[in-house]
A and B are shown apart, each in its own frame.
Chain A
Amino acid sequence: AQSVTQLDSQVPVFEEAPVELRCNYSSSVSVYLFWYVQYPNQGLQLLLKYLSGSTLVKGINGFEAEFNKSQTSFHLRKPSVHISDTAEYFCAVSDGAGKSTFGDGTTLTVKP
């Protein structure tokens, strides 16, 4: 069975500071990893995903994530955040069965 743990439920940060949102996963087979963002009262949209190849994945809005197989992690990072990055972020894992499992989400709040 696959599972996802987002280690921080809330992350407050000041504008222009760097941020890291942490995600650990467990799966018995090869995995595909995703980060989605959800703005208030909206659906989710894809930020980035890891399928194979380079372990550093770049996504939209300046976000990137690094796949670390030995630590079973897929942490999301941004070197300098903006007020508009305030949202909820979900890590998800999908294994060979095709079903995606989502973490509980991390609320990123960017303060001026």
Chain B
Amino acid sequence: DGGITQSPKYLFRKEGQNVTLSCEQNLNHDAMYWYRQDPGQGLRLIYYSQIVNDFQKGDIAEGYSVSREKKESFPLTVTSAQKNPTAFYLCASSIADNPGNTIYFGEGSWLTVV
């Protein structure tokens, strides 16, 4: 089945560590996104990529980094510079980064700092 796979589902990070969240899609979508979701809040855009080897910062990019070396993969690294990383992270994709296109989401990854 086509879809977006995020891993791991749950991840614990120690203070000062970098961690990487995986996101793979087999929908043949050009655009991919990373969102952060905190309890009681909406989704905030971290990074997005419209095409391979290109990506742009979203609204809350500080402390995060991404790469887009393959069309189907868009990993997110949460660096030690992110001071409050505990949250639910959602990877998403769309056919292209056009305003009317539906965004498809993965199942999400929970990151907890211990």
By a beta-carbon cutoff of 8 Å, the part of chain A in contact with chain B is 4, 9, 32, 34, 36, 41-46, 49, 51, 90, 94-100, 102-105
Contacts and interface: CB of A to CB of B under 8 A. Distances in A.
A43 B109 CA distance: 9
A34 B92 CA distance: 15
Contacts of A98: 97-99
Nearest to A45: B105
A96 B90 contact: no
B108 A43 contact: yes
B108 A32 contact: no
Contacts of B45: 99
A32 B100 contact: yes
12 contacts: A9-B40, A41-B110, A42-B107, A43-B108, A44-B105, A51-B100, A94-B100, A98-B97, A99-B45, A100-B103, A104-B40, A104-B42
Interface residues of B, number: 22
A43 B100 contact: no
Interface in B83-97: 90, 92, 97
Contacts, number: 56
A89 B84 CA distance: 25
Contacts of A43: 4, 90, 92, 105-108
Contacts of B41: 104-105
Contacts of B92: 43-44
Contacts of B65: none
B102 interface: yes
